[in-house]
Amino acid sequence: MAFHTYKAAKESYEGIGRPGEKSKLRNEAVTIGEDPISILLMGIENYSTNGKNGRADTQIVVTLNPQTNKMTMTSVPRDTRIMLPEEGAGQYAGYHKINAAYTFGSITGYGGKKLTIEMVEELLDIPIDEYIAVDFEGFRDIVDALGGVTVDIKEGFWEKNIYNNDKRIYFEEGPRKLNGEEALAFVRMRKRDVNTIYPRDERQRQFIQAAISEAISVGTIFKVGEISDILGKNVETSLKPSEIYALQQAYSSIDASKIKTLEIEGSNQMINGKSFFIPTDEGLSDISDKLRQQLDLSDEEINSSNENG
């Protein structure tokens, strides 16, 4: 298991390219497994662009605190309106949806993941210490390698299966074990009417909680070789093998049912003919305060880091 995990982690590793290997909002680099940290989970949609310059359509900020053994998940809506800077976005600088930061950062050579991380940091006013990015195929294959993931579906709906000629997959209310293709459709759906009462962001957080429970189950150890091969090919992360091991040691006993999920308050608005998600100032301030608490950060530490950075 150690060999497979190390090999996959080594293949998946890709640093962010920041001075001192730390966020500009940190005075000092964090020690994985000892300090509270934040990780940005990115789901990359690149199947329609042949694997190049995709979009970070899913962005979830995870905080982990080893002192309290608590974990939070905060979804950043893909349509959140942000200002992309010239440094990073080049000729594409200006107002865009936040999922475009990955695209334009990749095109300009600045780094899609790096620009996305910086935009999330600016939006939430917290440091993002690490990232994990997975594409659609990796997501599908990991779920299948786990033997499926059981989710308690709160509201029925349907979604297209992009791997089977857009045939519909129907989801009925109640517990259901989803395979990889079904799981991808479950977390992707956002255009059906039911999305207003069973939002995409909520389904994504719900699925991750269920997947964590499945991944830390006893039976997963027998699938580690298959899972590691998938991770090596379809996942990129700034976490080094030793840091992944430290995370596993610190959080292997976490109760996934107690993971706290947070939402950014705001509304969808039409601006210049495009639909954007506009967070409220109060909503952003509230989320920022809650995440700083989880990360054991004070306002003084953030302000000091901004001045130094």
Work out the pLDDT band at 279, boundaries 50, 70, 90: very high
Burial grade of 166 (CB within 10 A; 0-12, 13-18, 19 or more): exposed
Measured distance CA(246)–CA(250) in Å, rounded: 6
Tens digits of per-residue pLDDT, 64-84? 999 888 999 999 999 999 999
Helix pair 180-188, 200-215: axis angle to 10 deg:
150
Tens digits of per-residue pLDDT, 140-169? 999 998 899 999 999 999 999 999 999 999
Mean pLDDT is lowest, of 7-16, 17-26, 202-211, 281-290, for: 7-16
Q: Is the pLDDT of residue 280 over 90?
A: yes
Mean pLDDT is lowest, of 83-92, 186-195, 261-270, for: 186-195
Mean pLDDT of the chain: 89
Measured distance CA(294)–CA(94) in Å, rounded: 32
> Dihedrals φ, ψ of 247, to 5°?
-65, -45
Q: Is the pLDDT of residue 302 over 60?
A: no
Question: What's the pLDDT score for residue 40?
Answer: 97
Question: What's the pLDDT score for residue 230?
Answer: 79
Average pLDDT score over residue span 101-128: 96
Average pLDDT score over residue span 171-193: 94
Work out the pLDDT band at 116, boundaries 50, 70, 90: very high
| Global confidence as pTM | 0.88
Q: Which of 214, 130, 219 is nearest to 180 (CA)?
A: 214
Q: Is the pLDDT of residue 226 over 90?
A: no
Q: State how beta strands 149-153 and 174-178 pair.
A: antiparallel
Q: State how beta strands 81-84 and 94-97 pair.
A: antiparallel
Work out the pLDDT band at 240, boundaries 50, 70, 90: confident
Q: Is the pLDDT of residue 308 over 70?
A: no
Average pLDDT score over residue span 5-24: 83
Q: Could you tell me the two tokens for 125? A: 């006013």
Question: What's the pLDDT score for residue 171?
Answer: 97
Average pLDDT score over residue span 179-194: 92
Question: What's the pLDDT score for residue 1?
Answer: 61
Q: Is the pLDDT of residue 187 over 80?
A: yes
Q: If phi over 0 gives left and psi between -120 and 50 gives alpha, with beta otherwise, what is residue 296? A: left
Question: What's the pLDDT score for residue 9?
Answer: 72
Q: Which residues pair with 65 in a beta bridge?
A: 70
Q: CB neighbours of 252 closer than 8 A, spacing ≥ 6?
A: 216
Q: Is the pLDDT of residue 56 over 60?
A: yes
Q: What angle do CA 259, 262, 267 make, to 5 degrees?
A: 155
Question: What's the pLDDT score for residue 195?
Answer: 84
Q: Is the pLDDT of residue 2 over 90?
A: no
Q: If phi over 0 gives left and psi between -120 and 50 gives alpha, with beta otherwise, what is residue 20? A: left
Which residue ranges form the domains of the chain, and what is each CATH number? 2-299 (3.40.630.190)
Q: CB neighbours of 246 closer than 8 A, spacing ≥ 6?
A: 32, 33, 34
Is pLDDT larger for residue 172 or for residue 196? 172
Q: Give a three-class secondary structure readout of the chain.
A: CHHHHHHHHHHHECCCCCHHHCCCCCCCCCCCCCCCEEEEEEEEECHHHCCCCCEEEEEEEEEEECCCCEEEEEECCCCEEEEECHHHHHHHCEEEECCHHHHHHHHHCCCHHHHHHHHHHHHHCCCCCEEEEEEHHHHHHHHHHCCCEEEEECCCEEEEECCCCCEEEEECCEEEEECHHHHHHHHHCCCCHHHHCCCHHHHHHHHHHHHHHHHCCHHHHHHHHHHHHHHHHHEEECCCHHHHHHHHHHHCCCCHHHCEEECCCEEEEEECCEEEEEECHHHHHHHHHHHHHHCCCCHHHHHHHHHHC
Is pLDDT larger for residue 217 or for residue 112? 112
Q: Which of 1, 5, 4, 18 is nearest to 238 (CA)?
A: 18
Work out the pLDDT band at 46, boundaries 50, 70, 90: confident
Q: Is the pLDDT of residue 28 over 60?
A: yes
